[in-house]
Amino acid sequence: MDRGLPSLIESSRAVSPPYEGDFRIDDSVLAKFPEGTTIISADSFGTSAWTVTARVHLKLPDDSEEKYFLKSAPGDHGRILMEGEFNAMSEIYKWAPDLAPKPHSWGKYALENPEAYFFLSQYIDMINGMPNPRQLCSKLARLHRKSQSPTGQFGFHITTCQGRIPQSLAWESNWTVFFTRLLQHVIDMDFEFNGYWEELDKVEKQFIAHVIPRLLDALVKDGRTIKPCLIHGDLWEGNSGTSFEDDKVYIFDAASFYAHHEMEVGDWRCYYNKISNRIYTRTYLRFHGPSEPKDEWEDRNRLYSIYFNTIYSVNHLSSGTAVRQLAYEDMYYLIDKYAPFPEGEGPPKLDKSEMASLSAERDHTAD
């Protein structure tokens, strides 16, 4: 937990406010609305490991009423989180307004201790549970097809975060170069937070030097091209919801950037997400098929999932070891297939009984 988060949680508790609810609304939030806007209610709402969240009901000067979802986080890292999410959700809303709650604004709290930042968006009353596969995947495929990178390149104009981890998103025209940099960034953090592992380091170096270029360069071989598509970037079931009012599926908590569209569903391979149920990937592929060479789609999906497993191990240190082992296993699988170590030079593979239990857990979740 961010060291400033407990202080922000404490400072967000309202004491006898002149409105209903238990959440203190900072003056800077009301400043984002027309003068004369008043608070009807403000309640702590939802759960988050990295932020403080609330539901705000406002009365505007024209007597209309609106509800908003408010999220805040402390410190300079909070600024990166809130500014990144506002920009990511704004970009999704621009291309797919039927897929995302409408973003409103972001800013800095007037509160000075702790320094904190906030993000406001439209509040939609949503039902928890798994999203309808057909609706989610059709909308997502349309976003991927319709969106256009403002630079024609891969990346994003601002840093976005997956969980608490900032991503490396500087614009780059070459997808292989971009993805390699993206992955190397979280590999470096994995060693920093979870400790150095010599065998993993050797596997990652072989994987980066030989497997990534082999699989991703093939996407642009023989005159083929890849269109940079806007992806959500962290799309598991917890970052989606279904409107209580009209059963429409929405996505939120985006970590967006412009990428190869197949990367979006790399996260759906990860066993700890319920969206790893194969019906989601199969449905998505019906609306947006794989790139050529199609017979390497499964291996690219495994490759992209390694990024999500690695950043997960940084975000969730308590389970980081197990997820690192799965990344190790997946990288070794692709190395054996595309760029084997010279005889006797590769690090040992993981204990089969240990990996069998991890694989069984993954397969049980995916079915």
> Can you give the CATH number for the domain in which 167 is found?
3.90.1200.10
Same domain? For 145 and 293 the reply is: yes
Structure-derived torsion over alpha carbons of residues 146, 151, 152, 154, reported in degrees to the nearest 10: -90
Peptide bond into 213 cis (omega under 30): no
Beta strand 257-259 with 229-231 is antiparallel
Determine what percent of the chain is predicted with pLDDT higher than 70: 95
Residue 91: CATH number of its domain: 3.30.200.20
Same domain? For 177 and 191 the reply is: yes
pLDDT of residue 364: 40
Whole-angstrom distance, CA of residue 310 vs CA of residue 305? 9
Query: Does the global pTM surpass 0.85?
Result: yes
**CA nearest neighbour of 118 among 161, 72, 154, 85:** 72
Q: Which of 102, 123, 144 is the last residue of a domain?
A: 123
The residue ranking higher by pLDDT, 25 or 113, is: 25
Task: Compute the average pLDDT of residues 69-73.
Answer: 96
pLDDT of residue 226: 97
Residue 347 falls inside a structural domain:
no
Residue 196 falls inside a structural domain:
yes
- Whether 1 has a pLDDT exceeding 70, the answer reads no
Element (H, E) at 264: none
pLDDT of residue 355: 54
Same domain? For 210 and 328 the reply is: yes
Whole-angstrom distance, CA of residue 286 vs CA of residue 12? 46
Residue 343 falls inside a structural domain:
no
Element (H, E) at 66: strand 65-74
Residue 360 falls inside a structural domain:
no
pLDDT of residue 350: 87
Contact by Cβ (8 Å): 53, 47: yes
- Whether 292 has a pLDDT exceeding 90, the answer reads yes
What letter would DSSP give residue 154?
B
Task: Compute the average pLDDT of residues 215-227.
Answer: 97
Residue 279 falls inside a structural domain:
yes
Whole-angstrom distance, CA of residue 232 vs CA of residue 153? 17
**Domain extent at residue 241:** 127-338
**CA nearest neighbour of 271 among 326, 311, 314, 350:** 326
pLDDT of residue 244: 95
Structure tokens at 326: 């799965």
Residue 157 falls inside a structural domain:
yes
- Whether 352 has a pLDDT exceeding 90, the answer reads no
Place of tokens 């997956």: 162
pLDDT of residue 366: 39
Q: Dump pLDDT digits (tens) for 129-145.
A: 999 999 999 999 999 99
How many other C-beta atoms are found inside a 10 Å radius of the C-beta of residue 204?
22
**CA nearest neighbour of 71 among 134, 15, 29:** 29
Same domain? For 49 and 133 the reply is: no
Same domain? For 111 and 215 the reply is: no
Q: Which of 123, 143, 159 is the last residue of a domain?
A: 123
Number of domains observed in the structure of the chain: 2
CA angle 362, 160, 331 (to 5 degrees): 35
The one-letter amino acid code at 64 reads S
Residue 42 falls inside a structural domain:
yes
- Whether 359 has a pLDDT exceeding 70, the answer reads no
- Helix ranges (DSSP H) in the chain: 5-11, 27-30, 75-95, 133-146, 175-194, 198-206, 212-217, 278-287, 297-315, 320-338, 352-366
Same domain? For 116 and 215 the reply is: no
Same domain? For 141 and 109 the reply is: no
Same domain? For 114 and 205 the reply is: no
The residue ranking higher by pLDDT, 152 or 317, is: 152
Peptide bond into 34 cis (omega under 30): no
Whole-angstrom distance, CA of residue 194 vs CA of residue 151? 36
Q: Which of 71, 106, 123 is the last residue of a domain?
A: 123
- Whether 254 has a pLDDT exceeding 50, the answer reads yes
Place of tokens 């940079």: 228
pLDDT of residue 360: 47
Same domain? For 75 and 148 the reply is: no
The one-letter amino acid code at 13 reads R
Residue 142 falls inside a structural domain:
yes
Q: Dump pLDDT digits (tens) for 193-220.
A: 999 999 999 999 999 999 999 999 999 9
Same domain? For 240 and 290 the reply is: yes
Same domain? For 317 and 300 the reply is: yes
pLDDT of residue 321: 76
Determine what percent of the chain is predicted with pLDDT higher than 90: 85
Peptide bond into 348 cis (omega under 30): no
Element (H, E) at 61: none
Structure tokens at 167: 């991503």
pLDDT of residue 362: 47
- At 320, the pLDDT band (50, 70, 90 cuts) reads low
Same domain? For 235 and 137 the reply is: yes
> What's the longest Cα–Cα distance across the chain?
76
- At 188, the pLDDT band (50, 70, 90 cuts) reads very high
